[in-house]
C-alpha cells in the first residue's frame, strides 16, 4: 500500500487544531486517519522549527542549529511549566481543607 503524502499546509492545519484545543489528539487521529505517532512527530517539528516546520533544512547535515534547538526546547519547557502550574492548582483545589469535616 503506498504511503500517504500530506502537504505542508495540511500538516500545519492538523497541528493547529490540536494545539488550539479544537480537537484532542485521538479525535484528530480518527478524523484525519493519521496514526498518533505521526501526529506527535508533526507536533514536535512545529515546536522545534516553528514557521519553518515541514520545509527542507539548509545545510548538508539537515540538523537544526543550536540556537533553533535551544529556542524550541525553551518553548516546550514554557508549555510544560504552564501545564504543571495548572495541575498543581487543580490538586490543591481537590484536596479537602484541614479542620473541616
Alpha carbons 49 and 60: distance in angstroms, whole number: 17
| Spans of all domains in the chain | 1-55, 63-96
- Size (the chain), residues: 101
Helices marked H in the chain: 8-19, 25-32, 36-49, 66-94
The answer to whether domain 1-55 has CATH 1.10.10 is yes
Long-range contacts of 16-25 (CB under 8 A, 24+ apart): 18/43, 19/43, 19/46
> Under a CB-based contact definition with an 8 Å cutoff, are residues 72 and 48 in contact?
yes
pLDDT over 80 (residue 2):
no
pLDDT in tens, 19-36: 999 999 999 999 999 999
Query: What is the 8-class DSSP label of residue 4?
Result: P
Which segment of 15-29, 53-67, 75-89 scores lowest on mean pLDDT?
53-67
Rg over alpha carbons for the chain, rounded to the nearest Å, is 18
pTM for this prediction: 0.55
Query: Higher model confidence: residue 61 or residue 78?
Result: 78
Amino acid at each position: 500500500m503506498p504511503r500517504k503524502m500530506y502537504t505542508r499546509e495540511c500538516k500545519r492545519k492538523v497541528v493547529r487544531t490540536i494545539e488550539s484545543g479544537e480537537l484532542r489528539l485521538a479525535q484528530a487521529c480518527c478524523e484525519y486517519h493519521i496514526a498518533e505517532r505521526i501526529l506527535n512527530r508533526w507536533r514536535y517539528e512545529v515546536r522545534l522549527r516553528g514557521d519553518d516546520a515541514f520545509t527542507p533544512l539548509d545545510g548538508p547535515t539537515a540538523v537544526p542549529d543550536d540556537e533553533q534547538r535551544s529556542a524550541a526546547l525553551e518553548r516546550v519547557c514554557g508549555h510544560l511549566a504552564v501545564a504543571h502550574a495548572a495541575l498543581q492548582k487543580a490538586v490543591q483545589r481537590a484536596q479537602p481543607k484541614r479542620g473541616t469535616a
